[in-house]
Structure 1
Amino acid sequence: MDVAASPRRGARAYAAFVVIGLLAGLLSGLFGVGGGTVIVPLLVLLLQFDQRIAAGTSLAAIVPTATVGVVSYAVSGSVAWVPAIILAAGAVVGAQIGTWLLPRISQTALRWGFFGFLVVVIASLFLVIPSRDAAFALTWWSGIALVAVGVGAGLLAGLIGVGGGVIVVPVLMLAFGTSDLVAKGTSLLMMIPTAVSGTVGNIRHRNVDLIAAAVIGASACTTTALGAWLATIIDPAAGNMLFAAYLVVIAAQMAMKAIRGRKRG
């Protein structure tokens, strides 16, 4: 950790860590995402974190958050264990490729491309309502497709820092016909090895604030189970609408970053 790039350690900073963690944990459990889309911008905007340290801190905080989320979904049998492992294997490889490609590809073009992907997903969520009774049928073909999805999720994570859940959850629901709960539980399980691997690398490169990550992660763990419970009692159609609203916020973030990047260019 680069101490100079971290915020002052006053009461305000620790209070902000707790609030950020509570919000990230709730959204993580509710939508099956890591919470990085909440943690990173808030650390940068509220506490003036360096972007790289904010991303590394977020990834470290995701490890305990996703673990609690997986346990919460597993209690109701809403985790597809083998597909999650396949996705994680693809994501780890994809993240390495994304990191290698990072200096070679236009970030602005990538962000606009991802914005377009989110627009399609948001529109699809209004047309396809997942069935809570749907089971994931693992075959050779679906296994190969899962590897491709994992690689794609890891690739985007490495290139533009987008968490895998934003990609994996809608793809599992819309392309594989998985129930919304299984999609979310499986997404959270997939994140754990990916986040651990990324955190080890970030620690090595001093791109993580471990104190902030610990406070945020511990706070998030207190609301993740609540979010997962809310997901089980919310009607699937209403859940789709809420997830669509969440993706609109992410799409807006991507568009603003793309516009700023084009202006700088």
Structure 2
Amino acid sequence: MFVLLGAAMGTLGGLFGIGGGLVAIPALGVLFGLDQQLAQGTALLMVLPNVLLALWRYNQRNRIQLRHALMLIVPSFIFAWLMSLWAVSLDPQSMRLGFVGFLLILIVFNLMQMIRSTTRLGAGLQRERWLWLLGVGSGITGGLFGVGGGVVATPILTSLFGASQVVAQGLALALAAPSTGITLLTYAWHQHVDWHMGVPLAVGGLASISWGVKLAHSLPERQLRKLFCVFLMVCAVILALKV
């Protein structure tokens, strides 16, 4: 069952460049009754190999610029580590409420970008000197909520930095890989990982994430953005049922 669930999450992770954690966290909390920290830690165990494989696949199709990736990775890694140390000590219910609020903010942001008719899709990466600031924000959300790279960075890279959807998702995966690793280590050290559940989830995700990446490159850009926004709404509703 966990392998099949991981396969579904892996497909979504490859499609949206998020590693599958955003759907895994509410699913583990609602369907299996895990508290917020345990759900996030177990999801991270599935997400890390998915992110690494998806990053490799995206880089094969759209070469990721190392300079841009490092500007995102370094601050994200540092802040993800610091925030994960704080997150493991928080009240689980407060964490869940915070996570729902985080999703709602993302939904509003994505809807605003969809409505703005002046937004140019895939105009080329701009404002490169501010990429480090995006790395800081993604690291904070990644360490605190277990999701950061694809969920936070992708819409900001497309709307504020002018990247195409697939280029943004590739950069977001590069950003997410190191910070996901250090966050997983922190959660595991504090006993917030269910290994019996997380390992088969990871196996299922690895088996399907390449298909999701392939699907992402076959869809029109605007359609991919709309699907991503709907996906965020569904996750927020599912998690709100548990609050």
Instruction: Please name the residue that 2:134 is paired with.
Output: 149
Amino acid corresponding to residue 84 of structure 1 in structure 2: A
Which deviates further from its counterpart, 120-129 or 187-196? Answer: 120-129
Answer whether contact 1:44 1:50 (CA < 8 A) is retained: yes
**SS class of match (2:64):** coil
Cα distance change on mapping 1:199 and 1:101 into 2, 3 Å: closer
Instruction: Please name the residue that 2:209 is paired with.
Output: 224
Normalising by structure 1, report the TM-score.
0.78
Give the C-alpha shift of residue 78 in structure 1. 4.5
Whole-Å separation in 2 of the counterparts to 1:113 and 1:66: 21
Answer whether contact 2:75 2:132 (CA < 8 A) is retained: yes
Give the C-alpha shift of residue 208 in structure 1. 1.1
**SS class of match (2:79):** helix
Give the C-alpha shift of residue 227 in structure 1. 0.8
Answer whether contact 1:126 1:240 (CA < 8 A) is retained: no
2:107 to 118, 139, 145: 118
Give the C-alpha shift of residue 162 in structure 1. 3.6
Equivalent positions of 1:64-79 (< 5 A) are 64-79=49-64
Normalising by structure 2, report the TM-score.
0.84
Answer whether contact 2:106 2:232 (CA < 8 A) is retained: no
List per-residue Cα deviations over 1:234-257 (Å, max 9, x = no partner): 011111111121122244457667
Equivalent positions of 1:36-55 (< 5 A) are 36-55=21-40
Report how many aligned residue pairs link the two structures. 236
Amino acid corresponding to residue 121 of structure 2 in structure 1: P
Pairing 1:166–2:151 present? yes
Cα distance change on mapping 1:211 and 1:251 into 2, 3 Å: closer
Equivalent positions of 1:121-140 (< 5 A) are 121-127=110-116, 128=119, 130-131=121-122, 134-136=123-125
Instruction: Please name the residue that 1:21 is paired with.
Output: 6
Identity rate, percent:
28
Pairing 1:213–2:184 present? no
List per-residue Cα deviations over 1:214-233 (Å, max 9, x = no partner): 21111111111111111111
Give the C-alpha shift of residue 206 in structure 1. 1.7
Pairing 1:234–2:188 present? no
Answer whether contact 1:29 1:227 (CA < 8 A) is retained: yes
Equivalent positions of 1:166-185 (< 5 A) are 166-185=151-170
Answer whether contact 1:81 1:186 (CA < 8 A) is retained: no
Whole-Å separation in 2 of the counterparts to 1:183 and 1:135: 10
Give the C-alpha shift of residue 94 in structure 1. 2.3
Cα distance change on mapping 1:80 and 1:252 into 2, 3 Å: farther
Name the Cα RMSD after superposition.
Answer: 2.6
Runs of 5+ in structure 1 lacking a partner? 1-14, 261-265
Answer whether contact 1:149 1:168 (CA < 8 A) is retained: yes
Cα distance change on mapping 1:112 and 1:64 into 2, 3 Å: closer
Equivalent positions of 1:85-124 (< 5 A) are 85-99=70-84, 112=101, 115-124=104-113
Whose Rg is larger?
Answer: 1
Runs of 5+ in structure 2 lacking a partner? none
Answer whether contact 1:70 1:79 (CA < 8 A) is retained: no
Cα distance change on mapping 1:26 and 1:199 into 2, 3 Å: same
Whole-Å separation in 2 of the counterparts to 1:71 and 1:109: 32
